[in-house]
Amino acid sequence: MAEKNPIILVPTDFTDQAATAIQHAATIAKAAGYEIRLIHVVNSDTKTKLKKAGESLDDLNRKMAEEVAKIEKTYGVKAGQHLREGSIFSTIGEVAEEIGARLMVMGTHGVVGMQHITGAWAVRVITSSAVPTIIVQKKKVDLSMGYEHIVFPVDSAKETKQKVIHTVAMAKHFGSTVHILSSHEDDEFIANARDRNVTWAEGMFKKNGVTHTTTKATKSGGDFAKQIIKFAAGKNADLIVILTYDAEMNLKTFVLGADNERIINNDAQIPTMCVNPIANLYHVPNVMFL
């Protein structure tokens, strides 16, 4: 595991969604003192489009440089660029690992070759590295407030503790209020595991001076994903934090389930931070904090 650096990696294809991702990344970078790195992955489709337009990789590099200059001028944060040949499904994650990025921010349509990306396609990018990824739609963030309200769903998964670590870091950057929503569980054993996670999360938020509230999902309110989305919309949330694997699967097999897809693609366009659980996290130096 590479040492983590104060860098936010942003995949771009120069679309509106990519511009929104840049705006979110710049808001975080400004608050945290981080640098933004744009990445554009060149594949066979890219080369075909460039050829039809009478352009070259040099033209693409210049376009990237213009974006970097615009970011620095507009937001007052340091920026850089990476133009790489490869596959969007692996190269983005490889670059994130190479540069030691602490975070990725990606528009749902903001990667070359992935226009209209949804669901199962997204997971291959999101889980291509251990770096948490914030997925945004077209809705921009309020630059003056950042992520003021963060919704933090809690179930029985033991990896919830890793999600807490990243949420604490984000909340401290923006002075956020974290709204815990605990799942409804009929099974006593699962409910006890959920309650332990809630207690641990509340303790960590309190220890780190993070304002927080706790609400329980209801049996009559529908499935947990539906209640998360409704709860987040009701709180006018700026961010939802989820784990991006199926709790029933081995950690080596990441799965973005249908429920998480619904959360990521929520109608309120609330950005979603996807945290991939890391085996032996606590033995990895300098990986825990954004």
Measured torsion, CA atoms of residues 131, 135, 136, 142, in degrees rounded to the nearest 10 = -50
Residues 12, 18 contacting (CB under 8 angstroms)? yes
**What are the angstrom distances between the C-alpha of 103 and each of 56, 94, 198, 227?**
30, 13, 25, 27
Separation of CA 62 from chain center: 28
pLDDT value of residue 277: 81
CB atoms within 10 A of CB 71: 23
pLDDT value of residue 121: 59
pLDDT value of residue 110: 45
**CATH superfamily to which 7-136 belongs:** HUPs (3.40.50.620)
- Report domain extents, the chain: 7-136, 149-283
Q: What is the pLDDT of residues 182-237, one digit of tens each?
A: 999 999 999 999 999 999 999 999 999 999 999 999 999 999 999 999 999 999 99
Q: What is the pLDDT of residues 68-104, one digit of tens each?
A: 999 999 999 999 999 999 988 889 999 999 999 999 9
9: which strand partners? Answer: 37, 104
Residue with the bigger pLDDT between 24 and 49: it is 24
Q: What is the mean pLDDT of residues 247-262?
A: 53
Of the given ranges (105-109, 150-154, 200-204), which has the lowest mean pLDDT?
105-109
Spatial separation of the C-alpha atoms in residues 255 and 274, rounded to whole Å: 12
Q: What is the pTM of this model?
A: 0.88
How much of the chain exceeds pLDDT 90, in percent?
A: 61
pLDDT value of residue 3: 66
User: Which pairs count as long-range contacts for 208-213, CB under 8 Å and 24+ apart, including other chains?
Assistant: 208/168, 208/171, 208/172, 209/172, 210/167, 210/168, 210/171, 210/172, 210/176, 210/178, 211/175, 211/176, 211/177, 211/178, 212/152, 212/177, 212/178, 212/179, 212/180, 213/177, 213/178, 213/179, 213/180
Q: Do domains 7-136 and 149-283 have the same CATH topology?
A: yes
- Is domain 149-283 given the CATH code 3.20.20.140 in the classification? no
pLDDT value of residue 240: 97
- pLDDT, the chain, mean: 85
Q: Read off the pLDDT band of 113 (50, 70, 90).
A: very low
